[in-house]
Amino acid sequence: MPTIADHATDRLFKERLRSSFPDSFDWEERYVEHESRRIARVFDSGLCQIEGRRVLEFGCHIGATSIVLANLGGRVTGCDIDRNSLALASLNAIRYGQRAALSLVAIGAGGTLPFASGAFDLVICNSVLEYVAPDLLGRTLAEIDRVLKPSGELLIYGTSNRAWPRESHMGRWFVNYVPQRLDRLTGSVRLRGVWPWRIRRAFANYVDVLAAAGPNTYIAARGAAASAWRRGALSAVARVCSWLNFSPGLLTPWIFIVLRKPSSG
């Protein structure tokens, strides 16, 4: 787990974080520790290698996941449309001693990514795709495909699943099923999840790594369930999904899928 390396920057980061996110300060301040316990399990399971690889975190927010990836030895680039979040991400990386291993890039809101084709071995989208404007999601997914090299991997993690009746971030019931055109009529934007089949369709020729890995790897990567009955239920579902050749993470309230891009030719 990353540890605080620069206490002066730690104090400055907390001061600016409280000013920017007063309502969620306690959560945001511990975000790196949270991701160290959560998403790091995916890499501990052997699904994705990090050390020495070129990694893009799309939508890095204040840099928590990017810091974890850099701590694991990745050559990490974090990008975001919010420059204030990127400034906080820079301070966050300094306080954890990872600023030299992490590049931070501002991107526009139009869906285009300022990176060369095939620039990254691994692209990670952690709890971010649901915040992309619906009319830009298709372009954004196409750009992610473009910047990922052949045989590279795409990890989508913690994305709210629109197939579920309860939206996972806000906890609102049935908002996922409300047509988005009503937002334009009412002038009120409602946060919704992402349809899992939209993600799978955008990367239709990719290999579903979790489906091929089997139920035990899925359970380990998800870090799921303290109780034996819940682990047993998840294992059974994962086994069935493996037989049907799709990821059990497409069925859960938070989408979790690892996809591998075909090799060139």
Return the closest-CA partner of residue 155 out of 131, 128, 126: 126
* Token pair belonging to 194: 């992402």
State pLDDT tens for residues 106-121. 999 888 999 999 999 9
Output the CA torsion sign for 20, 21, 23, 25: negative
Q: Is the pLDDT of residue 13 over 80?
A: yes
Return the closest-CA partner of residue 151 out of 196, 205, 115, 114: 205
Q: Is the pLDDT of residue 55 over 90?
A: yes
230 vs 41, residue with greater confidence: 41
* Token pair belonging to 34: 């949270």
State pLDDT tens for residues 205-246. 999 998 887 777 887 887 755 567 777 777 777 778 777 778
Please state, as a whole number, how many other Cβ atoms lie within 10 Å of the Cβ of residue 187.
6
Q: Which domains does the chain have, with CATH numbers?
A: 7-260 (3.40.50.150)
d(CA 51, CA 59): 21
- Residue pair 54/113 in contact by the 8 Å Cβ criterion: no
d(CA 52, CA 79): 19
Q: Is the pLDDT of residue 81 over 90?
A: yes
- Residue pair 130/164 in contact by the 8 Å Cβ criterion: no
